[in-house]
Chain A
């Protein structure tokens, strides 16, 4: 570990590389986190299957790419498939959980996650997959720093998607309905908004977002049927840090997480990357709670 730190010290370009890599993947985290915050804020449900949705999106995109479809088509395809799945899951399972103790939704979506994991492994096989587009990289500082072009495109696409989503929520009628229900479900229902449908729409939109994020991620990073949990944890961590309804916070937290993971992976070694993420999570929660305690409120 110390030797790795020394390397960083001697080759600052490497540090820059880590920062860039971190930022680029951070955008994917941000998208997934945004979706989770949406479902949480609107329907008071924590979707533990978030990571599995991302993985599924990625696998669909990989499959499509292997069948010869261009990347540009794979992403919307994945989003659409997940959107449909989201509605199906909502009307079969999630609809029963709305308004109940949040723990029920945690358990139920965990169940969904387990089911999806093994189903994905059956359908797609459990090997690592990637839909590499082979675009190559830009190089800086005499080749010390490589900026993968695909990852940059992914980053840009995530931003575009995020902005589209925000506009949708702000401007469109359905988006406004979603926001109304998030703030005051009883009032919204009295005003004629079908809250059940709104919750369903929110869940399905979240699934679509994850699908798109996964599809994008699959172009530059490996996808694995059992790789969802870390995405779920990351999303949760980001939402906790940023607070619900704080899009700026989500972006900032997600990018920071990406960079932090990037450095941790290098300094501590890849096998400790996950340990680092979770330890960071614990530290963040403890710190946040301590801050709130001074105001005599609790993280709850």
Chain B
């Protein structure tokens, strides 16, 4: 099998190294804990987009739908276990009426995250039969429509806080550094996601996804159950996106339906950009892309405020025009040109 998929000793060492770095990073750079957590979640976003987009060829512009669903699902569970969600949102979630003690907060988190994954996965499964029968840019635009419509609809549901959004539960002071907890949860999720995808891509299922990308009709004509494969990939990606969304919501605390949850114009597009920047269709690509993107974004937003979108737009254009196979892809292509016959 293609060597790039194998878990060579060199690879294992790299992964172990990254894990070590990841493990100590928040302790070494406490000021950047939030950004690091965001980075890890971005990695998950990018990996998930790439599974369906880069590996399978179904470029979705609406994955943010599952992120948002996860965000809200988790928040609802976290709050709903102990209080009435509607009342909580009416009171804007703050104040002394809605307090969460340690065990409440932790239980909420422990149940909220899986719930988020489940809700997103279920939604993906239900939508999959409709949406995955479309191809190419029709699929892209349809998913874009879903993502944006979801945001607008959420903004109109008072029970969820409508346009004013929803606050995730206030972590009790006695718990200490919740941001650190979130970081390690995000790290765990990122690692789980990477390992799961690495495994998936090493199976015939992974090859099937690529076959669908390269020539779906041929795959169908060869008897491959393309619909089942597509839905599976879509559901798996959605599950991880939902879980990541849950963590993201708890990280930013305030969930705005359009700016945060179903943020099509930001997270929605960024995850695509990250995967493309790093190299779509590879496992390392989305991860590398997320790192480079996060660094660049932080730089732009800090030093080029007011022009940050212009800079980002230019970056997108640059990537699309000059690095269509991304950084990892670029390196791979060079190696391939020099190396094997």
Q: Which residues of A contact B (CB under 8 A)?
A: 46, 93, 96-97, 100-108, 110-119, 122, 229, 233, 236-237, 240, 271-272, 274-275, 278-279, 281-282, 285-286, 289-290, 293, 298-300
Contacts and interface: CB of A to CB of B under 8 A. Distances in A.
B230 to A, nearest CB: 13
A118 B321 contact: no
Main secondary structure of the interface of A (DSSP, over half): helix
Interface in B193-250: none
16 contacts: A103-B140, A107-B276, A110-B269, A111-B317, A118-B308, A233-B141, A233-B148, A240-B141, A271-B152, A272-B152, A275-B156, A278-B144, A278-B145, A278-B146, A289-B138, A299-B136
Nearest to A49: B313
B141 A285 contact: yes
A118 B307 contact: yes
Contacts of A279: 145, 149
A293 B140 CA distance: 18
Contact of A293 (B133, B149, B156, B308): B133
Nearest to B264: A229
B106 interface: no
Contacts, number: 127
A107 B276 CA distance: 10
B63 to A, nearest CB: 15
B5 interface: no
Nearest to A290: B133
Contacts of B135: 298-300
A275 B314 contact: no
Contacts of A107: 272-273, 276, 316, 319-320
Contact of B59 (A100, A103, A271, A278): A103
Given A271-B156, A282-B149, 6 more contacts: A101-B324, A111-B313, A237-B141, A275-B149, A278-B148, A285-B142
Contact of A282 (B145, B156, B265, B269): B145
Contact of A114 (B131, B148, B312): B312
A233 B145 contact: yes
A113 B310 CA distance: 9
Nearest to B146: A282
B142 A282 contact: yes
Given A271-B155, A298-B134, A108 B321 contact: yes
